Amino acid sequence: MTKLYNVAVVGATGAVGEQIILQLEQSDLPIATIKFLSSPRSAGSTLSFKGKPVIVEEATPESFTAIDIAIFSAGGSISAELAPEAVKRGAIVIDNTSHYRMAEDVPLVVPEVNEDALRQHHGIIANPNCSTIQMVAALEPIRQQYGLKRVIVSTYQAVSGAGNLAIDELYTQTQAVLNNEPVEATILPSAGDKKHYQIAFNAIPQIDVFGEDDYTYEEHKMINETKKNHGRCKP
């Protein structure tokens, strides 16, 4: 008999969570139950899954009782706090945040590139940053055929990469510019940064905050995650 899985999505109300739900709806993963988790802010709101309403619940350690697969996309600090609680309760965690990506005992997996690494998990499986995933999926066949010495990368990223608040900011600023009103910037290029710039009718040459070496964390993620991922590729 086909095993059915109890699945939880942490950060279900976010920009990424919305896409995870769509992917789960379209996948043939045999799902018995689905749980949508968020912060207290969205708890009690209703989302839908395959045409049926699902009430969003606040994510707590107890949320993961009897869950088989927990997909986390609510920020690194939430994964740090709740992923071990989910594993403790028997779930396999797929973590979409950066929190566990470079951890020694956590495989960093892009299925088209190094699905074998999935066998090495101890409860948590990480996936790389979105730009890294796309890049290594395209580069891996070339690496296998010819080898690679060096990769020079430029990315052009949508505001949606910075979450729902960034999408709202672009919308509000665009309206303000078109109405000839003052523009307020509070989120982009990174909510965690001290300085913010207008994104409407603009392109900001910065993704994430700068590290001490003047590279941004996004740039570091692409370099480090590609190397870790590459190290686990099939020869």
Catalog residues that contact ligand NAP under the rule CB under 6 A. 10-17, 38-39, 41-42, 59, 73-76, 78, 96-98, 127, 129-130, 161, 163-165
Report the residue number, 102 or 177, with the smaller CB distance to ligand NAP: 102
Report the residue number, 17 or 107, with the smaller CB distance to ligand NAP: 17
Is the distance from CB of 19 to CB of 39 less than 8 angstroms?
no
Instruction: Tell me how far apart the alpha carbons of residues 98 and 141 are, in angstroms, rounded to a whole number.
Output: 25
Cβ atoms within 10 Å, residue 188: 23
Which residues have C-beta within 8 Å of that of residue 154, sequence separation ≥ 6?
none
Residue 217 CB, nearest approach to ligand NAP (Å):
11
If 0-12 CB within 10 Å is exposed, 13-18 middle and 19+ buried, where does residue 228 land? buried
Report the residue number, 107 or 163, with the smaller CB distance to ligand NAP: 163
Residue 172 CB, nearest approach to ligand NAP (Å):
15
If 0-12 CB within 10 Å is exposed, 13-18 middle and 19+ buried, where does residue 99 land? buried
Report the residue number, 173 or 190, with the smaller CB distance to ligand NAP: 190
Read off the DSSP letter of residue 150.
-
CB-closest chain residue to ligand NAP: 14
Residue appearing with tokens 């001490």: 212
Residue 75 CB, nearest approach to ligand NAP (Å):
4
Report the residue number, 177 or 217, with the smaller CB distance to ligand NAP: 217
Residue 2 CB, nearest approach to ligand NAP (Å):
29
Is the distance from CB of 79 to CB of 18 less than 8 angstroms?
no
User: What does the block give as tokens for 6?
Assistant: 């109890």
Residue 101 CB, nearest approach to ligand NAP (Å):
9
